Each structure stands twice: as C-alpha cells, then as structure tokens.
Structure 1
C-alpha cells in the first residue's frame, strides 16, 4: 500500500478494502472487538498515521478479537476527561460493542426493518449492522466520501457538467473549476477517529 497523504487516498484504500471483504461473514461486534484490540496498542499516541488507521480498519476483518468482557457493561456510561483522546475512542468502541452484544441477546439484529433505525436496549440509535455498511457510512459521514466520489467522476468527465446549487437550481460549470473536497490527511487524530466511529453507527 502506498503512503496515504489525503482523505481521498484514505477513502480509495478503504473502498478497495471493502470490495475485498464484501463476502466476509464476521459480525460487526466481532469486527469492533478486533478493532479495539488493535486500537489498544496506541494508548500512548497523540494521533496515528493515516496508514496506521487504515491498517487498524483492515485488522478488524482478520485480527483476533478481544473476548467480550462483562466489565464493559459497567463502563458503558463512563465519560472521558478529554473527548479528543485515545480514551474517548476506546470508550466509544466499548459502548458500540455492548450495544451490539445486547441487541443480539434481545433478538433485535434479526429485525428485517432494523436498517430504518432501531434503538439499542440502552437507547442508542443504530442504522448500520455489518462491518462493510458500517465502514461505508463512516467514510461518507466523516471523510467526505460521498463528495469525493463526485470529485472523481468530475475529473473523469472533463468539460461542462450539470450542477445543482443549495436552492435546487440547475446550472452548468466547467468540471475543472469546481472545488475539490480533497484535504491533506497524513495523520488521524483521536477526535477524527471518534467521529468516524459515530458515523459508522448513525450515518444513514
């Protein structure tokens, strides 16, 4: 894998990963427990490299998951001292794992209408229940993944393209003049990581 330097680079790498893992049968709870095992290795880091972030997401599909701990049930309502910290990401993962574990115990994950949104037994809202859809929505919600797809299409279709402004008025622009949602992203902060996880759970 090449060096990740922008959010576009990261989105493309994650999209490739999801294509490779589309048939993976690992549940989201097990995925997140494997992800948590990897995240715990960075407890002393202020931030992580974008390549390391990608490797953690990849590890969720193939890494050894932590066993479910009943102690996590007691940590569910804990709040970190710093919401932009490793501890915040760790607690977010623990809460999501507990939610999924309890939803499975209550038979809620068998509900065919769950993708319209269901509340966990502890009242958290959920829209995504498999690793691939979770990561797709995390990318779209936190890395501007949807706009990046449009950006790639614009670059592949040079010349004048049809646009839609905020008032839903149609117009045209030269594709080269349209702003790009690409941003530098060589490191991922814990706050960015937490937003990514939140979008995985709640972004539609």
Structure 2
C-alpha cells in the first residue's frame, strides 16, 4: 500500500517524521494545518509521489466535505476566513497542484478562522490578478456575509439577493445565491472547473442564462495545476453560480 509521510525540520535542521497517511491529500491537509496555525520557523512537507487528479476527482472531494461541514456547524463566513488563512501560506506561488487545492479546501473545514484583514477599499476584481485578486474577492465576500449577519437575507435568498452593503468599495458583485459552505464549494467548482455528473444528484443541466456566461464543460479533465486567477473564478462562482 502506498503511503505519504509528513516530515518536519526544526530550527537546528533536524528532520523528524510526524505522521504517515494512506492518502496524499490527507497528508497535505496536515501540512497546511501546521503552516496556517501559530507562527513558527519549522518546515513541514509531504514525502511521496504526487497523484494526478482530474476536475472530477476534485469535485467528488468537495462533495464529500458536505457532511463534516454540516456536522461541524461551520457557517460560510467562518469557512471563508479559514480558507483565506490557509491560502496565505501559499500566496508566493503562482500555481498550485490540484491535490494541494483539495487539501486547502479540506483544511478550512476545521481550522480556526483567523480575524480577516480590512475588507473595504478594494478595486473591482477584474482589475486585479493573481493572489491579490483571490484575496480581494474572499475578503469582500466575508464583508458581505458580515453585513448579512446584521440584516439576514430571508428564507428565499437562494433565488438571489443583494448584500446590504455598508460600503460600495468591494471587489465583487453584490448579488448572492449561496450562503452555506457546502453549496458555495459545489457551485464554485461546478462553475469554474466542471467535473460534475448528473448521477451525483447535486445538479442537472438546465436551459437559460448562467454565471459564468459560458460555463465549463462538465467533462473529466486532467488538471495538473491551477492559478490564483482560476481560484478567484472559483470563488466568484461560489457566490454567483446556481
């Protein structure tokens, strides 16, 4: 059986095996949890071969997060704060392997959410790129959700509702359709990368306008890495895709 080990290098250069896992994503999740926790000077990494993933693999992984998200009671603003905290540990990278993206989404399910940075004063997201675009979108969404907490969107919000913004200088559109982490993740991935199938029971193809204007083909695609702009598109679809 293939295993993946999490290793740590301390301040003196000593290397210690911390744990081993039967799944690479689980090992990467452990590393991200360490990196996004309390500040430290130690280095963590995963030893073992990379495993190629498809958009379908990532979609199924996202679907599997629904149960722990619901049972853990994590609300969307908490999840996005945790996701933002995890993402900052990789902000200097231009591209991320798909298994590390899956680990990032997984780590945010249980990681303690850090306080979010300033959430106003962003340029429109289409004028930004890379991690700056991703971060502006996530922090703007957190600010919208904080406003919704003061003025709840109502029982029919899934038909679409505008955020009751106290500021108009956010990077994202004001319209929202998804208000829980599981729906945000599923819609984000389906809208940005595809990978879903009607047999999943999560969605069906329907006629009419959608966001994005040209949604991705749900066909299975091998994807080695994604950019922060790809993840920014994911975050927008998490808010706007139905």
TM-score category (smaller protein): 0.7 to 0.9
The equivalent position to 2:109 in structure 1, one of 58, 61, 75, is 61
Q: Which has the higher helix share?
A: 1
**Cross-structure match for 1:135:** 185
Alignment pair present for 1:23 and 2:71: yes
Deviation at residue 195 of structure 1 after TM alignment = 0.9
What CA distance in whole angstroms lies between the structure 1 residues aligned with 2:176 and 2:220?
A: 28
The count of aligned residue pairs is 174
Which has the higher relative contact order, 1 or 2, with Cα contacts under 8 A spaced 6 or more apart?
Answer: 1
Deviation at residue 150 of structure 1 after TM alignment = 4.2
Q: Specify the SS of the correspondent of 1:48.
A: strand
Whether contact under 8 Å (2:96, 2:225) holds in the other structure is yes
The equivalent position to 1:181 in structure 2, one of 202, 205, 219, is 219
What CA distance in whole angstroms lies between the structure 2 residues aligned with 1:58 and 1:116?
A: 28
- Residue ranges of structure 2 left out of the alignment (5+ in a row): 1-22, 25-50, 166-172, 208-216
Whether contact under 8 Å (1:32, 1:93) holds in the other structure is yes
What CA distance in whole angstroms lies between the structure 2 residues aligned with 1:180 and 1:43?
A: 28
The equivalent position to 2:98 in structure 1, one of 40, 47, 50, is 50
Alignment pair present for 1:197 and 2:240: no
- Residue ranges of structure 1 left out of the alignment (5+ in a row): 154-163, 167-178
Whether contact under 8 Å (1:84, 1:189) holds in the other structure is no
Alignment pair present for 1:118 and 2:161: yes
Q: Runs (4+) of structure 1 moved beyond 6 Å? A: none
